[in-house]
Structure 1
Amino acid sequence: MTEGKVVIVTELYSGGSSGIGLSTIQLLLSLGTSVIGADLHEPPEGAVNSAQFTFYKADVTKWQDLVGLFKKAIELHGRVDHVLANAGVAPRTNYVNGIELDENGDPKEPTGFVLDVNLKGTINTATLAIHYIRKNPSGGSVVVNSSATGLHRFRGVDYTVSKHGTIGLMRGLHAALASQNVPVRINGLVPHWTASGIVQEELFKELGIYTQPASAVARAAVKLMADESRRGQLIHIDHEVCKEVDETLMQVYESFQHEESTGGDEGIALLAARMKWFTDAK
């Protein structure tokens, strides 16, 4: 249950003002949860009417904004129990035919804005979440909202890279947290086409593409927060149907490993023990 808990939902460019972010905030509030929503824009008037909601203006690409967000949660409630890292923007860089030239005719470096928001912003959010949540006697959880595009080939390259990266973040942090007995769970979401600030429902309807309601993803996010047995899971949501997919993917990977191969995480554990990686030694 999330009743009485304190949850941060991070956003950028109307993430918390519409779509998955707003739906999650509304669901959490209906369950008696205190919510701090971070975005560049406040939710639409009348969308959130609860004394348990606090809006905090923040840009997830700025570290100090994120630090201020978590400090505000501590100031208001004394703790943070769960965090949904939900900030995201649409693809905007064409690495194949979209290179721009400077005044000398030389290629200009492509913008890294999508990676800054979708990947770096999520990494920093998760890092701060772990820092604060681990202080709770009972711990808590982080939910990373990635995308189904992180599981397959998608021609929006910068977006695809960022979403593959956030899945890797969840997997890596799950292994690291478990190995160090940190009382913080981390799980991920990989929703298929979902009505949001990025996926415009009317446009997709004209194209004959089904978009599931944001509430379907919100329910999955809250389930991951509330169910303490969920650890290192990756929940795929399509047509409002949720399925855990990472265990299957891991089994496929293991099926083509050499029978005498040392697992990647097992190898890291052996190296960490020898080289004293990931210890508290200064």
Structure 2
Amino acid sequence: MGSQAEQRVGIVTGASSGMGLALTRHFIGKGWKIAMFDINDKVGNELVQELGPATSFHKVDVASYDSQAAGFLSVFEQHGRIDALLANAGIVDRSSLYILGHRANQVEDIPPAPDTLCTDVDFKGVLYGTQLAVHFMRHNPPALGGGAGEAAGNDQVKGRIVCTASVAGIVPHPSYPEYNGAKAGVVTFIRGVAGVLKVKEQIHINCVCPGIVATSIIPPEMVAAVQPEYMTAVDTVVRGYEEFLDEKDQRFGVVVEASVDEVLEVSEGRLANGKASEPAVTVWDPLFKMLHGEGSGLKNAIP
């Protein structure tokens, strides 16, 4: 029987291309079993034939909770556990919020509603995946859900979640207003849930924010317009994931920027009025219990 590292099971979303495919290839090479989630079943099934028995393909629309749930259940039934969710799937804006082409409209000629698929995939897909990961990771066998770091005396980790956001979720890109909001939502979401997931579930959630990477969602002309020394290597993004998924890594709620060839932690912003504003974002445990059914378990919670 192989080592625990060789037995680890991960789900990669958006796995059929770009950074998702790079993550899939990398962790297969590290001895993982990888379940590939993507809507492109033709490419996905071809990749499974290429990558071999350590992979499986599941046609999943991450914007659909039911679709993700069916995928998670299939993986758990196949392997008996899920050690990591690599929530990588993402797209950019599918319509223009600026509605510049509608300047000539009469006041009663309302522009069409924006296409919010970017929010559904990039933000809601992460929320859905996180909730499902929590559910299934609760059922991981204790001996296999952790790793070498836990055996050395650290708290046992039942599972790990790493999400792909973007540097545009930290400093916005005017070309992609919806994408900015969705990725900023992911950054704030993981920071907000990380403490509770660590204390209540022994699940670590973190976030990688890539710079500009030459993938299919970036027009090649835009890639060509960027100075080569400012392009982010896919390997840098993969390294950010690898560091978070290392069995000895004990971080949670951490955001890193994967830029060019550097993986750098990004500090959380501070409110301008300091301690006077802190109570507004500090857990009051009676409210937490009212909303979630039990206390938060956070040390800094107001009783």
Contact 1:8 1:36 in 2 (8 A): yes
User: Is 2:81 the partner of 1:82?
Assistant: no
Aligned-partner Cα distance in 2 for 1:99–1:133: 48
The structure with the largest helix share of the pair is 2
Aligned-partner Cα distance in 2 for 1:83–1:263: 32
User: Is 2:150 the partner of 1:150?
Assistant: no
Aligned-partner Cα distance in 1 for 2:78–2:169: 35
Which has the bigger relative contact order, CA under 8 A and spacing at least 6? 1
Contact 1:188 1:235 in 2 (8 A): yes
Partner residue in 2 for 1:235: 256
SS at match of 1:9: strand
Within-5 A mapping of 1:1-282: 2-11=5-14, 16-41=15-40, 42-43=43-44, 45=46, 48-98=50-100, 105-136=109-140, 137=142, 138=146, 139-155=158-174, 156-178=176-198, 180-200=199-219, 203-208=222-227, 210-226=230-246, 227-245=248-266, 248-250=267-269, 253=270, 256-266=272-282, 268-272=283-287, 276-280=290-294
The two structures, once aligned, show a CA RMSD in angstroms of 2.5
Equivalent residue pairs, number: 268
Question: Identity over the aligned pairs, expressed in percent?
Answer: 24
TM-score (norm 2): 0.80
- Gaps spanning 5+ residues in structure 2: where? 147-157, 296-303
Contact 2:36 2:55 in 1 (8 A): yes
Contact 1:8 1:82 in 2 (8 A): yes
Aligned-partner Cα distance in 2 for 1:205–1:197: 13
Which amino acid is the alignment partner of residue 168 of structure 1?
Answer: T
Contact 1:6 1:80 in 2 (8 A): yes
The Cα of 1:43 is off from its aligned counterpart by 4.1
The Cα of 1:168 is off from its aligned counterpart by 1.5
Partner residue in 1 for 2:301: none
SS at match of 1:152: coil
TM-score (norm 1): 0.85
Contact 2:37 2:59 in 1 (8 A): yes
- Gaps spanning 5+ residues in structure 1: where? none
